[in-house]
């Protein structure tokens, strides 16, 4: 590979982008990773909050855990375990019926291996982004991706108009890079013009998503009436999931922290009224009260928390898979890969599989230049 040929931009530092960047770097490719947020993780981000009395609180407010069935991904997970980045979350799980206020399908510890990042879900992405050969650009959003036909290169421009450089290949691991949702949030056209990739346009046109609200709670005393540490909730219009975040390995036990996830229907009802612009504190407070009220309605002796805060995931999960066979979308002539959970399956494992596939496509192509 010549110097220019080894330069690849990876847009998005969720697990798909992070795995892809790490894999490319291990194969000798010089990677620049762009992330609009302050740190890596995407839906595997960790949230740091401070309570009114000054206590620092940490929450995995996105994906609570992940499972693995793919052999290649399992190999990666075992490597991460050996590095202390991942551990098995060994607790009891089940389901809760909000109409009868009863638990059912109680699963004994260890039947399904649930993995978590240590000390937070974002630990994996953090480590992958710090590997040799990966240059990290956090707080840098990509506003425009242009294909320079005469130079056979990609040119990236930041949201602030800054020139971010020229690259031989690009991996876009954020589905919003071509989505009308990008315009709804920023008021700008999406970074990637679908006219540049007409053969991919039909699949990328408008990937449907499922929104979700997360509610972060901290309690001074354990919720001892709840016999399990994570459960799906059925027959609720508001709640779909609850877990005790502080029960995960490597977490502080200074307080008991829970994370609740809303139903898609509830999230859609709020978004229908507010749109996708940044929510006001008053709206987030109202959402927090409504979700917590539903949690209290379970009859599980839920005490008042000393911390309560809601977060909106506007496009939490993809509602479709657009590249199940190929694992990622690939534009060979322009060396553009589109990767993420929306390509394979709407979970962390699917995102990892897609990131590996994108790295493989680019590594193979660049080795021929």
DSSP string, 10-38: EE--BHHHHHHHHHHHHTT-EEEEEESSS
What pLDDT is attached to residue 109? 66
What pLDDT is attached to residue 285? 98
Query: Is it the case that residue 334 has pLDDT exceeding 90?
Result: yes
- Contact (CB, 8 A) for 165 and 7: yes
User: What are the strands of the beta sheet with 102-107, ordered from one edge?
Assistant: 102-107, 93-97, 230-234, 239-244, 256-262, 209-219, 307-318
What pLDDT is attached to residue 3? 41
pLDDT in tens, 57-83: 999 999 999 999 999 999 999 999 999
What pLDDT is attached to residue 277? 87
- In angstroms, the Cα distances linking 144 to 147, 155, 190, 317 are 10, 8, 7, 24
What pLDDT is attached to residue 205? 83
- Contact (CB, 8 A) for 64 and 348: no
pLDDT in tens, 295-312: 999 999 999 999 999 999
* Nearest by Cα to 335 from 18, 13, 6: 6
How many Å apart are CA 28 and CA 8, to the nearest integer?
11
Give the number of residues written for the chain.
369
pTM: 0.95
- What pairing do the DSSP bridges indicate for beta strands 256-262 and 209-219? antiparallel
Residue 150 makes CB contacts below 8 A (sequence gap 6+) with none
pLDDT in tens, 182-239: 887 788 899 999 999 999 988 988 789 999 999 999 999 999 999 999 999 999 999 9
Torsion of CA 208, 147, 358, 339, to 10 degrees: -10
Instruction: Kindly indicate the confidence band of residue 47, based on its pLDDT and cuts at 50, 70 and 90.
Output: very high
How many Å apart are CA 127 and CA 260, to the nearest integer?
27
- Contact (CB, 8 A) for 45 and 62: yes
What pLDDT is attached to residue 2? 38
What pLDDT is attached to residue 4? 45
Residue 267 makes CB contacts below 8 A (sequence gap 6+) with 210, 211, 212, 213, 312, 313, 316
What pLDDT is attached to residue 358? 98
What pLDDT is attached to residue 6? 65
Query: Is it the case that residue 242 has pLDDT exceeding 80?
Result: yes
Average pLDDT along the chain: 94
Instruction: Kindly indicate the confidence band of residue 5, based on its pLDDT and cuts at 50, 70 and 90.
Output: very low
How far is the first Cα of the chain from the last one, in angstroms, to the nearest whole number? 6
- In angstroms, the Cα distances linking 81 to 74, 76, 84, 214 are 10, 9, 5, 27
What pLDDT is attached to residue 178? 82
- Contact (CB, 8 A) for 61 and 45: yes
Q: What is the mean pLDDT of residues 165-178?
A: 92
- Contact (CB, 8 A) for 291 and 239: yes
Residue 172 makes CB contacts below 8 A (sequence gap 6+) with 11, 12, 145, 178, 192, 336, 337, 338, 339
| Alpha carbon of residue 51 to chain centroid | 25
How many Å apart are CA 159 and CA 162, to the nearest integer?
7
């Amino acid at each position: 590979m010549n110097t220019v040929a080894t330069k690849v931009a990876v847009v998005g530092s969720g697990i798909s982008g992070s795995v892809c960047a790490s894999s490319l770097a291990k194969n000798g490719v010089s990677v620049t990773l762009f992330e609009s947020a302050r740190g890596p993780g995407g839906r595997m981000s960790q949230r740091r909050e401070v309570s009114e009395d000054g206590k620092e609180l940490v929450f995995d407010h996105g994906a609570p855990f992940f499972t693995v069935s793919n052999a290649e991904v399992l190999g990666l997970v075992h490597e991460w375990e050996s590095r202390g980045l991942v551990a098995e979350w060994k607790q009891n799980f089940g389901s809760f019926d909000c109409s009868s206020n009863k638990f059912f399908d109680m699963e004994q510890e260890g039947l399904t291996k649930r993995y978590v990042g240590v000390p937070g879900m974002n630990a994996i992405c953090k480590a992958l982004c710090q590997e040799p050969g990966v240059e990290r650009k956090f707080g840098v959003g990509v506003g425009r991706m242009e294909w320079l036909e005469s130079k056979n290169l990609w040119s990236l421009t930041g949201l602030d108009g800054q020139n971010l450089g020229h690259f031989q290949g690009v991996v876009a691991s954020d589905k919003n890079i071509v989505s009308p949702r990008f315009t709804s949030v920023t008021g700008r056209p999406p970074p990637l013009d679908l006219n540049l990739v007409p053969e991919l346009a039909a699949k990328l046109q408008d990937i449907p998503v499922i929104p979700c609200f997360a509610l972060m709670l901290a309690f001074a005393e354990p919720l001892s009436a709840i016999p399990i540490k994570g459960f799906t909730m059925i027959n609720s219009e508001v709640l779909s999931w609850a877990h005790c975040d502080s029960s995960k390995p490597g977490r502080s036990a200074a307080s008991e922290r829970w994370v609740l996830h809303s139903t898609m229907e509830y999230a859609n009802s709020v978004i229908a009224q507010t749109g996708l612009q940044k929510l006001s504190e008053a709206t987030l407070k109202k959402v927090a009260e409504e979700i917590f009220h539903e949690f209290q309605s379970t009859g599980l002796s839920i005490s008042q928390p000393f911390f309560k805060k809601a977060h909106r995931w506007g496009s939490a999960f993809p509602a479709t898979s657009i590249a199940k066979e190929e694992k990622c979308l690939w534009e060979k002539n322009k060396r553009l890969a589109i990767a993420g959970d929306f390509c394979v399956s709407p979970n962390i494992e699917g995102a990892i599989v897609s990131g590996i596939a994108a790295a493989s496509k680019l590594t193979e192509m660049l080795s021929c230049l």
